[in-house]
């Protein structure tokens, strides 16, 4: 074969990839002339020689690559984004130290719900295991294909970390308590003062409540992801708000801001009062609504408290009709109607006034207040004559006169019950508890004389006994079984109640004069009343007590006994007995005191 033919054959071999197919096809072809066959044989020999050279070159290059990279990190290996492939393990560890070590002091971003915070690894028990990390990269592969592909691909190797679980848990718990956890904030509207009496409304944005519940799971997440460029994301237990921001701003702009933009003037009867924006704002109450909305309620009690003091002068109190005894006989002092503000009607159109930019005014609405006892009602009570009267003497000290002045003129309507405690009041002097000057000194001592006198007057008037208590020891100034105490031996008040059971009412007249107290019951007489006292029974002789002289008060003592008193009602017209009422009382013996 000539040189030019060899050159042509080489060019054909390189430019024709299907030459091998043609070579094998020749074997099945018809015999060729000797010249052409020799040319073909030389071409095949040249082909095998080239292929052998290429294979030898590949083996040489593979061997060189295998020898030069022995003991290095495999090509294409990256650790946390740092390329260490092809470096020796010492160089790789040094490079990781250089590029990853700053991350140990750089805060790690922590995303938890709607809070973004950070952890400092070096202060949170987090670190790196350099040898362990590189060990994960493995060793140089033997496969030529793998070695060839490593030139064109990368492989990420996970970082092996060192962590102190207790330190990490402590750091995570502290972060959660101080930064990540926060309570639910419902959308609402707040106010800040502006000028002397104005306010500015602002939106309180709704915010979910969140809490880190599973601390251990959070610790594992931090340990696994703290070197990630994206930081750490922790799972939080979330409580979503009911309201949304749009509803809050809609309420603020369309309702609340106009409402507190200025005062509202209340026109009372003869007096105008200004309801200031601050007072209006304080009455607003916001309530979240399912579906994202926000409701507004107005507390009228707060609005009322803001202006009631100034408007009080426009109100008048009603006064009941009274029975007076200035002329010695009962006379009716006329009743007086009052006038009170109807706050519900006054604030009925408040929302309309609050929506106006000017002309923000409200008329004050009033209701007439009628007395409990009108003039006509007092005249209809039939208080025209004395139906019961009783007098006792030996009054000492001012207490009896004080209480007598408080109950004189009291009117009791049919079906009502008089209570002495309602009119008792205070301001009494200290005096012996018993009206005869005996017993311990207590505040209001001696008032039992007035209550017993009142009880006997009501007894003779035929009024109902609504409840009373008798003295512990019998006092002979009253019929046995017909006394009522007002103060016990400890100074405690004891009530006396008198019921108006007749179709007409009654009035009380009480006065103190010349050491005596008199109680008269005025009304309409329906019965004649007499008292019948039974004989004492179950007598108990008095014990004897010896006491040192000085403050000792000698006493003759008195036996204790039980007695039954019967009140008899007679018809006024016929004089015949209508009914009887009996009451049994037991008195304790009064000791004989020898000084």
Q: What is the CATH number of domain 247-320+332-371?
A: 3.10.20.800
Find residue 188's DSSP bridge partners. 204
Those residues whose C-beta lies under 8 Å from the C-beta of residue 280, and which sit 6 or more positions away, are 259, 260, 264, 303, 354
Question: Model-level pTM?
Answer: 0.58
Find residue 369's DSSP bridge partners. 338
How many other C-beta atoms lie within 10 A of the C-beta of residue 501? 14
Q: What is the pLDDT of residues 340-377, one digit of tens each?
A: 999 999 999 999 999 999 999 999 999 999 998 899 99
Find residue 62's DSSP bridge partners. none
> What does the buried/exposed string (b/e) look like for 457-496 if buried means 16 or more CB atoms within 10 Å of the residue's CB?
bbbbbbbebbebbbbbbbbeebebbbbbbbbbeeeeebbb
Tell me the pLDDT of the chain (595 aa) as tens digits: 444 444 444 444 444 445 444 444 444 545 545 666 677 777 777 777 777 676 665 555 555 554 544 446 676 677 766 777 667 777 777 777 777 777 667 899 999 999 999 999 988 988 877 777 777 665 555 456 555 545 555 667 766 778 889 999 999 999 999 999 999 999 999 999 988 889 999 999 999 999 999 999 999 999 988 888 899 999 999 999 999 999 999 999 999 999 999 999 999 999 999 999 999 999 999 999 989 999 999 999 999 999 999 999 999 999 999 888 888 888 999 999 999 999 999 999 999 999 999 999 999 999 999 998 899 999 988 899 999 999 999 998 899 999 999 999 999 999 999 999 999 999 999 998 887 777 788 999 999 999 999 999 999 999 999 999 999 999 988 999 999 999 998 889 999 999 998 888 999 999 999 899 999 999 999 999 999 999 999 999 999 988 887 777 788 889 999 999 999 999 999 999 999 999 999 999 999 988 8
Residue range(s) in the chain whose domain bears CATH number 3.10.20.800: 247-320+332-371
């Amino acid at each position: 074969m000539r040189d030019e033919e060899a050159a042509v054959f080489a060019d054909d071999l390189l430019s024709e990839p299907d030459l091998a197919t043609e070579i094998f096809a020749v074997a099945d072809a018809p015999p060729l002339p000797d010249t052409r066959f020799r040319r073909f044989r030389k071409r095949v020999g040249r082909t095998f020689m080239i292929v052998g050279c290429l294979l030898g070159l590949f083996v040489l290059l593979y061997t060189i690559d295998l020898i030069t990279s022995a003991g290095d990190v495999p090509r294409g290996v990256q650790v946390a984004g740092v390329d260490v492939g092809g470096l020796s393990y010492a160089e790789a560890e040094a490079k990781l130290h250089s590029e990853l070590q700053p991350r140990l002091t750089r805060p790690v971003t922590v995303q938890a719900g709607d809070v973004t915070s950070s952890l400092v690894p070096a202060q949170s028990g987090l670190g790196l295991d350099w040898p362990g990390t590189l060990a994960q990269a493995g060793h140089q592969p033997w496969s030529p294909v793998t070695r060839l592909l490593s030139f064109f691909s990368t492989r990420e190797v996970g970082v092996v970390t060192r962590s102190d679980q207790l330190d990490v848990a402590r750091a995570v718990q502290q972060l959660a308590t101080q930064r990540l956890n926060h309570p639910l904030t419902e959308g609402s509207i707040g106010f800040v003062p502006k000028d002397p009496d104005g306010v500015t409304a602002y939106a309180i944005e709704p915010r979910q409540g969140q809490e880190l519940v599973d601390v251990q799971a959070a610790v594992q997440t931090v340990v696994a992801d703290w070197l990630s460029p994206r930081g750490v994301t922790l799972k939080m237990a979330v409580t979503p708000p009911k309201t949304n921001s749009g509803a809050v701003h809609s309420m603020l702009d369309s309702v609340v801001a106009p409402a507190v933009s200025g005062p509202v003037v209340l026109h009372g009867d003869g007096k105008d009062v200004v309801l200031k924006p601050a007072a209006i704002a304080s009455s607003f109450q916001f309530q979240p609504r399912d579906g994202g909305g926000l409701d507004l309620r107005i507390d009228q009690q707060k609005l009322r408290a803001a202006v009631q003091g100034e408007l009080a002068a426009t109100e008048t109190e009603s006064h009941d009709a009274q029975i007076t005894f200035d002329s010695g006989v009962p006379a009716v002092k006329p009743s007086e109607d009052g006038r009170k503000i109807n706050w519900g009607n006054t604030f009925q159109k408040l929302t309309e006034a609050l929506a106006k930019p000017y002309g923000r005014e409200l008329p004050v609405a009033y209701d007439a207040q009628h007395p409990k006892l009108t003039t006509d009602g007092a005249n209809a009570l039939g208080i025209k004559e004395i139906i019961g009267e009783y007098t006792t003497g030996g009054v000492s000290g001012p207490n009896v006169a004080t209480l007598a002045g408080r109950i004189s003129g009291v009117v009791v309507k049919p079906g009502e019950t008089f209570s002495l405690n309602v009119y008792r009041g205070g301001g009494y002097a200290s005096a012996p508890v018993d009206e005869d000057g005996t017993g311990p000194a207590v505040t209001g001592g001696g008032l039992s004389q007035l209550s017993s006198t009142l009880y006997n007057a009501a007894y003779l008037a035929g009024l109902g006994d609504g409840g009373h208590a008798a003295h512990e020891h019998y006092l002979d100034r009253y019929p046995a079984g017909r006394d009522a105490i007002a103060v016990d031996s400890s100074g405690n008040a004891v009530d006396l109640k008198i019921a108006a059971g007749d179709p007409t009412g009654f009035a009380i007249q009480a006065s103190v004069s010349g050491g005596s107290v008199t109680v008269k019951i005025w009304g309409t007489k329906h019965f004649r009343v007499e008292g019948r006292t039974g004989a004492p029974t179950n007598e108990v002789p008095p014990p004897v007590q010896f006491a040192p002289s000085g403050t000792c008060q000698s006493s003759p003592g008195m036996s204790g006994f039980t007695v039954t008193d019967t009140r008899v009602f007679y018809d006024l017209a016929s004089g015949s007995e209508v009914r009887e009422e009996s009451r049994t009382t037991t008195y304790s013996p009064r000791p004989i005191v020898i000084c």
